[in-house]
């Protein structure tokens, strides 16, 4: 059985009819006064000016970052090139020393050793000129900012907490630690030495 659809007029509800007295003309709505309009136009112009300035500043900053990165890279390359140019003669001298060592006889061994010592001094001089500073830890109080303790040994000769032996040299570059010195630190003997 089909239910009949009933269409009944809706009664009792009042639809809001447009007010004949209200005007739908946008021009008659409260229009801004001429001075308000001028102020809004001035603000819009200022906002456009600030937006353009922001875009230019952002573009300038991006260009600056790219230029600074490029200059840092070029500076690092030129610094490395200058150091390598100074090291090339040392490399040449080492190669000459290797050639001399292969053909050296016992009577030439002393001059070979002297040549290698000169090359070592030349190499150390170039590194020192570049700002490399050697850390001499032997006999110094242990400093964890400069030294790396690899072990401890009992000692009567060196005070406790001082470096007894330097295993590997440490280096600083322009007062900044490049590599800590590997050291053996002295400690008090477990039993006192026998008195004589």
Q: Determine the average pLDDT of the residues in 30-41.
A: 86
CATH assignment of 132-196, given 1.20.200.10, 3.90.400.10, 2.30.22.10, 3.40.50.1820? 2.30.22.10
Beta-strand runs (E) in 50-180: 132-135, 147-154, 163-168, 170-173, 176-179
pLDDT for 52:
95
Percent of the chain whose predicted confidence (pLDDT) is above 70: 83
Instruction: List, by residue range, all CATH 2.30.22.10 domains of the chain.
Output: 132-196
Percent of the chain whose predicted confidence (pLDDT) is above 90: 45
Q: pLDDT tens across 68-97, in order?
A: 999 999 998 888 888 888 888 888 888 888
Q: pLDDT tens across 100-137, in order?
A: 887 777 777 888 888 888 999 999 999 898 889 999 89
d(CA 77, CA 69): 12
pLDDT for 24:
53
Nearest-5° angle of CA 6, CA 11, CA 12?
145
Q: pLDDT tens across 44-59, in order?
A: 999 999 999 999 999 9
pLDDT for 58:
96
Q: What is the mean pLDDT of the chain?
A: 83
pLDDT for 26:
52
Lowest mean pLDDT among 73-82, 139-148, 157-166, 177-186: 73-82
Instruction: List, by residue range, all CATH 3.90.20 domains of the chain.
Output: 34-130
pLDDT for 87:
86
Specify whether domain 34-130 bears CATH 3.30.70.
Answer: no
d(CA 59, CA 187): 63
Look at residue 63 and tell me whether its pLDDT is greater than 90. yes
Look at residue 162 and tell me whether its pLDDT is greater than 90. yes
Rounded to two decimals, what is the model's pTM?
0.55
pLDDT for 17:
47
């Amino acid at each position: 059985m089909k239910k009949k659809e009933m269409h009944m007029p809706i009664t009792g509800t009042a639809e809001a009819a447009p007010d004949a007295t209200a005007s739908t003309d946008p021009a008659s709505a409260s229009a801004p006064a001429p001075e308000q309009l001028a102020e809004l136009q001035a603000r819009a112009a200022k906002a456009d000016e600030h937006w353009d300035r922001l875009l230019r500043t952002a573009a300038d900053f991006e260009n600056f970052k790219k230029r600074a990165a490029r200059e840092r890279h070029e500076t690092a390359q030129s610094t490395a090139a200058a150091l390598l140019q100074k090291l090339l003669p040392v490399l040449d001298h080492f190669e000459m020393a290797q050639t001399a060592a292969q053909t050296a006889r016992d009577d030439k061994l002393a001059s070979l050793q002297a040549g290698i010592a000169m090359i070592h001094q030349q190499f150390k001089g170039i590194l020192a000129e570049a700002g490399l500073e050697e850390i001499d830890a032997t006999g110094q109080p242990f400093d964890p900012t400069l030294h790396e303790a690899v072990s401890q040994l009992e000692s009567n000769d060196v005070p406790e907490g001082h470096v007894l032996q330097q295993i590997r040299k440490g280096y600083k570059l322009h007062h900044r630690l490049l590599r800590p010195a590997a050291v053996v630190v002295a400690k008090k003997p477990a039993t006192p030495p026998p008195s004589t």
